[in-house]
Amino acid sequence: MNEMPGLYRIAVLPGDGIGPEVTAEAVKVLKSVEEINGPLFRFQTGLIGGAALDATAAPLPAETISICDNATAILLGAVGGPQWDSKRPEIRPEQGLLQLRRRMALYVNFRPAKVLESLIALSALKPDRVRGTDLVIVRELMGGIYFGNPRGIFAKNGERMGVNTEVYREHEVERVAHRAFQLARLRRRKVTSVDKANVLETSRLWRDVVTRIGRSYGDVELEHLYVDTCAMQLVERPTRFDVVLTNNMFGDILSDEAASLTGSIGLLPSASLGERTALYEPVHGSAPDIAGRNRANPVATIASAALMLRYSCRMESSAVAIEAAIERVLKRGVRTSDMHGKKRPVTTSRMGDLIAEQTRKLLKSSQFRRK
């Protein structure tokens, strides 16, 4: 039987820990979209991380690379776990993800953090401080201290010395800045660029380039903050932020801080974008302590699938339907075990069932149209 024209090829990489459980629920919700709109996706599953190491001795096998090379988008669960901690750094599970980002040239990461009224009591902050928070951290993903050379642990003058190098090239800053300003135009038209320009030369270059790019977006407000000030303001005045643009390491740290505003890291999706393809994954890790117990929160992975529909498949109405379905289910008081609630927590699969069911209902309504 020939494949139907126009199907989006989705590479599904469940990975380790709770990854297989949460990706299964995201696929379930995507299939609920197909039930209303007809065939849309061709799913192909591949190994990555520790699961790939166990099966092939490589964290990113050639077969997985082939699947991803031919995919419209990649849906990832999680990588890593304590059973692989003794592996050499170059073949640890996390290397599979880093190699994939490099190979696919995924240079920018979007991490939304929105506080839902129904979950406001779960936030680490008081309701009156966090209410209305709706921001996106735009993190540069292929440069900076995580990739710079030289790096390593060396012996010098009789003692060990650890070296990591922060490197940014002008074009790397330019392309991620454009993405941030373009995103801000679709939101509240404000970019906060975060650096440490009072100390670091790479940050001085960053600030100079972002300022120059900002002149091309006269309809978007640009402000600069030092990273320590931004970290403080995220706690004191989180509603002041719209799009937060920053480098690889600062973005890694600030996005986890932003997660605490929402009440659970199990709620937060992310999108890693390049020019040709994109990877979608939850912000949380592999949570090996609850793996295989049907207790994980699949919302972040389902929300990541919604981002996939928005950015890779250009299916805005279906993306909005999934996001609205998540909000409606949570508003009804449905909770997984990571979220406090008066009711007994539901299982991973039950949460997926409820969101899939609500997605179908919304897509059938006159409010939503396939795009």
Q: For residues 80 and 77, give the distance between their C-alpha atoms in angstroms, rounded to a whole number.
A: 11
Within the chain, what is the greatest distance between any pair of CA atoms? 73
Confidence of residue 89 (pLDDT cuts 50, 70, 90): confident
Sheet holding 108-114, edge to edge: 41-45, 8-15, 73-78, 278-282, 269-273, 108-114, 134-140, 243-246, 190-195, 221-226
Q: Which CATH number fits domain 1-111+263-371: 3.40.718.10, 3.20.20.80, 2.30.29.30, 3.30.70.1290?
A: 3.40.718.10
Task: State the pLDDT at residue 307.
Answer: 97
Please provide residue 335's backbone torsions phi and psi, each rounded to the nearest 5 degrees: -140, 145
Q: Tell me what the mean pLDDT of segment 243-267 comes to.
A: 91
Residue 5 confidence (pLDDT) above 70: no
> What is the per-residue pLDDT for 73?
98
Catalytic residue selected from 31, 190, 226, 256:
256
Q: Please tell me the least confidently modeled range out of 64-68, 337-341, 354-358.
A: 337-341
To which H or E segment does residue 74 belong?
Answer: strand 73-78
Q: Is the pLDDT of residue 219 over 60?
A: yes
Q: Which residues contact 177 (CB under 8 A, 6 or more apart)?
A: 193, 209, 210, 213, 214, 245
- 128 in active site: no
Task: Please report the pLDDT score of residue 342 as a whole number.
Answer: 66
Based on the residue annotation, tell me whether 256 is a catalytic residue of this protein.
yes
Q: Is 279 a residue whose pLDDT tops 50?
A: yes
pLDDT value at 155 more than 50: yes
Each residue's pLDDT tens digit, 23-76: 999 999 999 999 999 999 999 999 999 999 999 999 999 999 999 999 999 999
CATH T-level assignment (fold) for domain 124-262: Isopropylmalate Dehydrogenase (3.40.718)
Work out the pLDDT band at 1, boundaries 50, 70, 90.
Answer: very low
Q: Which of 196, 217, 280, 338 is catalytic?
A: 196
Helix, strand, coil content of the chain in percent (nearest 5): 45, 20, 35
> Does 85 participate in catalysis according to the annotation?
no
pLDDT of 3 reads: 40
170-199 tens-digit pLDDT: 999 999 999 999 999 999 999 999 999 999
For residue 124, what pLDDT is reported? 87
Annotated active-site residue in 28, 252, 280, 338: 252
Averaged pLDDT score across all residues of the chain? 93
Predicted confidence at residue 263, as pLDDT, reads 81
Specify the 3-state DSSP secondary structure of 366: coil
Active site residue 16: no
Token reading at 2: 């020939």
Give mean pLDDT, residues 154-166. Answer: 95
190 is catalytic: no
Query: Quick check: 179 and 142 in contact, CB under 8 A?
Result: no
Of 261, 323, 303, 271, residue with least CA distance to 134: 261
Spatial neighbors of 67 by CB under 8 A, at least 6 apart, are 11, 44, 45, 46
Q: Does 1-111+263-371 match 124-262 in CATH topology?
A: yes
Tally of residues, the chain: 371
pLDDT at 333: 92
pTM (2 d.p.): 0.90
pLDDT of residue 371: 44
Which among 283, 292, 298 has a CA at the least distance from the CA of 334? 298
Tokens 């075990």 correspond to 337
Quick check: 219 and 242 in contact, CB under 8 A? no
Burial of 287 (0-12, 13-18, 19+ CB in 10 A): buried
Domains in the chain: boundaries: 1-111+263-371, 124-262
Please pick, among 228, 289, 331, 364, the residue that the annotation labels catalytic.
228
How high is the pLDDT of residue 369?
56
Calculate mean pLDDT across residues 338-352. Answer: 88
146, 190, 353, 361: which is the annotated catalytic residue?
146
Residue 355 has pLDDT above 70, yes or no: yes
> By percentage, how much of the chain surpasses pLDDT 90?
85
Tokens of 109: 């990461």
